[in-house]
Amino acid sequence: MNWLASDAAMVRKLVVKDWQVYRKQLAGYVAGLLFALGLVGMGSPLLSAAGGLLLLVLLIVVGTFAIGSLIMAERKEQTQPFVMSLPVTPMDVFWGKLLANLAIYLVPFLLVTGGMLALILGTPSPDGAVPWVLLIALFVLVNFVVSLCVAIAVDSDGWNAFAMLALMTLIGPFIYWVTWMDGIREHLQGDVIVWSPQVLWLIGGELAVIGIAILAAGWVHARKTSFL
């Protein structure tokens, strides 16, 4: 079982191809995210709430659209025979799809996360909200990575749609859960950033889920000896 790509140069070409296909849509999403960050930064509670919700929705949509366009739509368009004609292995395609989608998603993700942290630390807003923001941002990233890995590993559109919808429904309850969790709730309105054991355990758990999802999808592809 080989986990490595056979041709790094070909993987890079696959990543660049997907990036070029998606860059125009990505520019539109980035403009929307900057607008939403502007709403959050206005300081009005109503506008901040609207901006925060818009950020969350756009982050979910940009990930769903990337997975749908670069993986699920390509299957419907029967591009596999074309891929089989290229000098690539199943692991080359796995790493190409994984890295391309991660690169595309990390642009808006880092923009939103960095923008939110800059707004908190650069304004009179309570700095104690920093761990809370990071936990929610990482959960959204976990949501995307797990959905991506399911889409790469499973050919069924029905199961992919079910996985994405099921994961999306967890975001709201997760936000409510961490907002009222001991070790987080009492520090949200404070001016001191507290990395409580609960925060550190949750961050570790989120990173572990990302790693497990990538390993599981890689294991599925590493077992393949051909594209069929």
Q: Show the 3-state SS of 30-69.
A: HHHHHHHHHHHHCCCHHHHHHHHHHHHHHHHHHHHHHHHH
Contact 210, 142 (CB under 8 A): yes
Give the pLDDT confidence score for residue 92 in this predicted structure: 81
70-102: per-residue pLDDT in tens?
Answer: 777 776 666 666 666 666 777 888 888 899 899
Cβ-based neighbour number of residue 49 at 10 Å: 12
Residue 96 falls inside a structural domain: yes
Q: Record the pTM.
A: 0.88
Q: What confidence tier does 67 reach under pLDDT thresholds 50, 70, 90?
A: confident
SS3 226: coil
Residue 228 falls inside a structural domain: no
Residue 145 falls inside a structural domain: yes
Give the percent of the chain with pLDDT over 90. Answer: 40
Domain that holds residue 126: 8-223
The structural domain count of the chain equals 1
Give the pLDDT confidence score for residue 82 in this predicted structure: 65
Give the pLDDT confidence score for residue 202 in this predicted structure: 97
Mean pLDDT of 104-127: 90
Residue 2 falls inside a structural domain: no
Give the pLDDT confidence score for residue 1 in this predicted structure: 63
Residue 3 falls inside a structural domain: no
Give the pLDDT confidence score for residue 160 in this predicted structure: 86
Residue 1 falls inside a structural domain: no
Phi, psi dihedrals of residue 223, rounded to the nearest 5°: -80, -15
Alpha helices in 4-155 (DSSP H): 8-41, 45-67, 73-76, 80-84, 90-122, 130-153
